[in-house]
Every structure is written in C-alpha cells, then in structure tokens.
Chain A
C-alpha cells in the first residue's frame, strides 16, 4: 500500500466540515443544547479516550468489534469513546460523594465507531444527549421522551416520530416460558435485527409450550391501543409491569400534548443487556436512519459504583438531524450579516476603534487594510459587484482622517460620515 496516498486524505469515515456547513452544524448544536439547558440539564465533559476494561464493564462485549483501540506507554488498552452513556456513568459513579442526585446532565461530543467502510457511515460522528440520573419514576421516563421530542421540534424538524418499547415485556415472556440463556440470546438477536423469518424458523424448532407468543410480539406496533392487546397476551408480572409503565408514560406525554409524536412497538428492545426498562427511537420518513435513541438503564451505574442508581437518557445524531432538516428544506440558519472595515495604513487606530464599537454591539466585524482591495471597486456605483468576502452586508471605508464612507449592500444605500470631533453616534444614524 502506498502510504503517500494518505497525506491529503481524512482517515476513512472521518469528515471535515468547511465553514458554511460547520457554522450551520454549530447553530443546530447550540439550539439543541439550549433546549436541554432550559430543562435544567447541565453540561458534563468526559475524556475522549477510556480504558477498554472500563467501557466493557459498562457496555458488555457486544460493542468491542466496533471500537478504535490503541495501547499507551504503560501497555493499557485505550479506546476512543463509542458513545457517551457509559463514560458518563463511570464518571458519575466514581464521583458520587461530590454530587447530589438526581442529576440532569447533557453532552455534545464526537464519538467513534469502526463501521464497515462500505456502509457509507461516518466513523466519527457528533452526538448530543442527556442523562437523568437517580430517578426511577415513570415521570423521569416521560421527561426523557418529551425532551427528545421537544428538542427535535425546536430544530424545526417536521414529520418525525418516536417508537417506544419496553424490554420488560419481552424479558417477562422469556422468563415465563422458562427459556435458557442461550435461547434468550438467540431470540433477542432476531428481535434486534428484526429478522422475522429467522425468528419464526427458530420458534418452529423450539420445543417450548407457548412459543407462538414470541412470534406475536413483533406485530405489536401502533398507537396506545396496542398496549391493551399486549396486556391480554400474558399474565406475567414483569410483562404486565412493563405495560403499566408504558401506560403511565403515555399519559404524561398526552398531558404534554405530544401523543401524536409517539408510537408503541413492543418488539423494540435496542441491544442486549444495557437497557432495563422503556426504550425509544426517533425517525423521520425523510431519512433512512434513526435520528435518536435512548432508554432506561438502571444497572449501568451499579457496575461501576456497586450501588444501584437508576437512570435514563437518550442521544441525538447531530449530522442526521441536519441532513433530515436539509431534505425537508426546513433548516433555519440565522446567518449573521458581516461588517467589513477597510482602512488606509495611517487610519488603523480609527479602524480598530470603530471595530471595537461594532463588536461591542455583537456585530460580526472584519477589518482589513485597503491594500487588499481595489479602491475603485469600493467606490463602485450601486449594483456593481465590489468583490467582497461572502456575507458582507455593510462596508465602512476609512478614506482619510476626516471621511468615513458607509456602504450598505442590503439596503443599497451609502453615506459619508465626517469623523472629526465626536462621530461615534453617527454610525447608527439611519
């Protein structure tokens, strides 16, 4: 392999964003963070790398295949974080004596997963999310779901929906049928992949009474009436408790007026051993991938702290939401117009002062010496292209120590301000 080929490339699956897109992604990110903070979620920062052992303790072996691993000077195996929930759980569990529960935490971070290159997926991507730690109540379940919907709504996204399931339902039925760990693993694999053909073939050979029940679960998807149907399928207590939990969540979500955004899907379990209760995923018809995912994980912190601490959270994929907004043509950028101050060498002092005044008012201001521009262009008549940097709406040209020419391209207006004596107020005159 020719190593030279790598010099000009980003590593496979890693992406750079140029200013125009980067600015829009940042705006989108800030908007979502704002939603989180309005609900009282405070930021938390954790290291980009973690010890492999620490992550495995939290996440199980399932994700190991997709991890970026490397070895430090002491021989420890480090990994680039593939998600934020386990690192946050570890951080909180090891700092419990400094913290008061419940905790409302939010994050915005890049995460790394070694996806197969042909899948066309990024190996570094941006996730925003929250974790509500220390509350077991269904009000907390509902809060996470409502906040996920609200923060997606705030971005301007339309036509999206959350599928809500509960791992307790399937777990209860598996326990009721007395299936062993191997069978449980096989069945959950089919559920995770939504491989109904595989599931039905497997069940056909399973010599367990009541096995047909498992084949019906993937079909339990729809509005709240599905819960009634599910409830009639089994008397198992764990499964019934799961249904009761979902009813309560529905009632909170309906009180908030967001019931149209949710669908129940009892076949949804999201992975193997991480989640313990309600689970959910958000999607829109405009994008072939999930927008967000999350759920309740009551045993994760315990793996680090030895004390049971319930928690729930979710993560949103920043780039996916951006892509969906673009496809829906609903991206709301607030492109701030720029000001450009151009000065001749001897009027630098005035230019800096003027720039200071504008920036004081939160106005984006670029300063540049005249040498970089053609004076004729700056003095060009209305409508002629002065070849200015993109996004410049107003030019302040310091012609000499007495004269400031202000050209407003948006209003197609120009005026001359005499800058002898006090002139600072005059720049705001309309």
Chain B
C-alpha cells in the first residue's frame, strides 16, 4: 500500500466549549461519529454555498454566437 500520511492534513480550529457540547449532544444517535466530522460537514456545505455566488459563464458573445450556430445546425434549437 502507498503510504498516505494523514498528519498535516488536519488542523485545529477553536470553538466555544458550550457550542462543542451542544453539537456533541446534537449528533448523538446520528451518523456523525465526532464533533469534528459534523463541523467539517456543515462548513463544507456553507462554504460551497458562498462559493456558488459571483460566477459568470466563461464565454464571450462571439463564442456564444458560434455555439448557437452549431446548436441550430444540429437541430438543438
């Protein structure tokens, strides 16, 4: 097996103990096995939602016209 070191792939973030305890209670009996796992899950969801904003399609009007021409020729439009 290739050595795949997990050290250096995780870091520590501080959260209030009260919040930690609240999450610990919340995840009891769920599929989450640790507070860290839950926090990573929730953060990924939120970060992805933030990243989704501010995006414009990467084509110019000229590109678009060329593509539309092809799509018309192929009968898609």
A and B physically associate = no
